[in-house]
């Protein structure tokens, strides 16, 4: 339905233009608008890119179709819809214009790699980055250098994710060197520089060089602010939250994590891993011994986890299909190469067989990697479930009150006493209810006081009742429970609960 509305609006806005040359400026204008709104309003950016693709498709303009598909793939990836992003990458790669444009080809691979990374297909991610570096190796033009700088930043991020801090440092240094050269010639988007500083900030944080970490996080935030990039500011609020968490300043950490959540809602940011912020807040509250808030944010974390896992499985399958499709294309290309070679150069058969065998081995290796990655994703899901159970168990243990806390509730005549007492003694209520189901909360509370070995005088003091009233209630309870005169109520209770 949305596509139909877009087509109708384009029909009237374009006034049925007569020639492809007249439509080209319109496509350029739409793509420029899409670029402008990227990360500021991703849906609007996507809308402009989609309109540009419709016009390019109508005129059969291959370079503009590929460029429009690139914009759509980038927007959908930013929105977290990786399946759609991978679909448009494949559409773009089929355009003959891409085969003659190594920059466009590399940019499409960059988005594909980012999709793989978000789906935890790290081996495929790094392979795409390596292919990009190979494509633009030894290129001296500014576009290639800038793309190289950006890729090195992402590779450094990959090494950080893998906790390979040595390679992360080496790679981010290459990125810094390239950006320093480029900035002397042309200005660069603030979002790229923001990413660069952010990665360096985390490297310094994990090295425990906290002053430097704050310095780079602050520079990253300022770049995001200059570019009015709401998503980068959201990411930077998380980074500051992580920074203060490392410093064990948990209140400050929570403050920045809360800012990130506000960004998420205010700017409608799509982040497939946003639930991790709730988990971080839960951990911070747990460190502050705030059990109630820790449980609250942990519940928020797990309430979204299953939905995200299901979405990731759909996107993961799309990613696997893309990888397998790429390998199928490799096989088809290989068949074509074999046919041409056999037709014209029969003497090179032995060389061709070796080439074919190597290609076959490469494809088999990539398939093994895909299977391994899929198994890893399933393992990650199992680990998440196990982590959830373990974390919940620990939280439940923390939520249990101590005997000292129970006595404080008794002395203050707290209305929460009985509920907390049941948590500490879970069998107490069930056993007594089995003996006499008609026991009410007031009677169960008195029995709990007796179980804690409080005298009638102490119970009267804490409940603001007279000593005689407590003695009468004890007498009635003995009858209700069927005790003999010689039975001690305290010893009887202990024996029942123990058994």
User: Domain limits of the chain?
Assistant: 1-100, 320-399, 403-498
Band of the pLDDT at 441, cuts 50, 70, 90?
confident
Is the pLDDT assigned to residue 324 strictly greater than 50? Answer: no
Write out the CATH class of domain 1-100: mainly alpha
pLDDT of residue 355: 53
Is the pLDDT assigned to residue 272 strictly greater than 50? Answer: yes
pTM for the predicted model, two decimal places: 0.59
Band of the pLDDT at 330, cuts 50, 70, 90?
very low
pLDDT of residue 189: 74
Q: Mean per-residue pLDDT for 232-257? A: 94
Is the pLDDT assigned to residue 421 strictly greater than 70? Answer: yes
CA–CA separation, 155 vs 167, rounded Å? 9
Is the pLDDT assigned to residue 292 strictly greater than 80? Answer: yes
Give the other-Cβ count within 10 Å of 217's Cβ.
22
pLDDT of residue 16: 36
In sequence order, which residues have a C-beta less than 8 Å from that of residue 259 and are 6 or more positions away?
Answer: 237
pLDDT of residue 341: 46
pLDDT of residue 372: 63
Q: Are 104 and 82 in contact (CB under 8 A)?
A: no
Is the pLDDT assigned to residue 418 strictly greater than 70? Answer: yes
Give the per-residue SS3 of 382-443. HHHHHHHHHHHHHHHHHHCCCHHHHHHHHHCCCCCHHHHHHHHCHHHHHHHHHHCCCCCHHH
Q: How high is the mean pLDDT of the chain? A: 79
Is the pLDDT assigned to residue 9 strictly greater than 50? Answer: no
Band of the pLDDT at 349, cuts 50, 70, 90?
low
Q: What is the DSSP letter of 16?
A: -
């Amino acid at each position: 339905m949305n596509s139909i509305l877009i087509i109708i609006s384009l029909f009237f806005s374009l006034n049925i233009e007569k020639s492809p040359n007249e439509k080209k400026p319109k496509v350029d204008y739409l793509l420029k608008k899409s670029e402008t709104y990227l990360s500021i309003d991703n849906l609007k950016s996507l809308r402009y890119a989609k309109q540009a693709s419709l016009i390019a498709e109508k005129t059969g303009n291959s370079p503009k179709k590929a460029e429009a598909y690139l914009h759509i793939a980038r927007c959908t990836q930013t929105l977290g819809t990786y399946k759609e992003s991978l679909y448009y990458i494949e559409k773009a790669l089929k355009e003959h214009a891409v085969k003659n444009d190594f920059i466009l080809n590399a940019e499409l691979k960059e988005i594909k790699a980012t999709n793989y990374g978000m789906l935890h297909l790290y081996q495929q991610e790094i392979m795409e980055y390596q292919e990009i570096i190979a494509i633009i190796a030894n290129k001296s033009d500014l576009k290639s250098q800038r793309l190289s700088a950006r890729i090195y930043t992402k590779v450094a991020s990959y090494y950080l994710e893998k906790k390979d801090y040595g390679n992360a440092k080496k790679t981010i240094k290459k990125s810094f060197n390239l950006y320093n050269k480029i900035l002397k010639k042309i200005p660069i988007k603030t979002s790229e520089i923001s990413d660069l500083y952010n990665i360096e900030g985390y490297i310094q944080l994990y090295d425990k060089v906290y002053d430097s970490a704050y310095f780079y996080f602050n520079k990253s935030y300022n770049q995001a602010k200059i570019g009015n990039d709401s998503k980068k500011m959201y990411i930077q609020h998380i980074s500051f939250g992580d920074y203060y968490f490392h410093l064990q300043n948990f209140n400050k950490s929570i403050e920045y994590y809360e800012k990130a959540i506000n960004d998420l809602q205010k700017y409608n940011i799509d982040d497939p891993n946003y639930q991790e912020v709730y988990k971080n807040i839960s951990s911070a509250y747990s460190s502050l011994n705030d059990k109630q808030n820790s449980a609250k944010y942990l519940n928020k974390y797990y309430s979204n986890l299953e939905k995200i896992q299901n979405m990731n499985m759909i996107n993961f399958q799309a990613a696997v299909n893309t990888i397998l499709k790429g390998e199928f294309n490799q096989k088809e290309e290989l068949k074509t190469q074999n046919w041409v070679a056999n037709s014209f150069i029969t003497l090179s058969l032995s060389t061709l067989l070796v080439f074919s065998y190597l290609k076959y081995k490469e494809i088999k290796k990539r398939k093994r990697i895909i299977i391994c990655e899929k198994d890893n994703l399933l393992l990650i899901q199992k680990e998440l479930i196990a982590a959830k159970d373990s974390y919940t168990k620990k939280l439940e243990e923390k939520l249990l009150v101590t005997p000292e806390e129970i006595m404080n509730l008794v002395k203050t005549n707290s209305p929460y006493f009985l509920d907390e007492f049941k948590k500490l003694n879970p069998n107490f209520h069930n056993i007594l209810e089995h003996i006499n189901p008609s026991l009410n909360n007031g009677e169960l509370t008195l029995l709990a006081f007796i179980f804690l070995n409080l005298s009638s005088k102490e119970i009267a003091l804490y409940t603001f009742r007279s000593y005689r009233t407590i003695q009468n209630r004890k007498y009635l309870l003995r009858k209700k429970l069927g005790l003999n005169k010689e039975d001690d109520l305290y010893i009887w209770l202990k024996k029942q609960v123990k058994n």
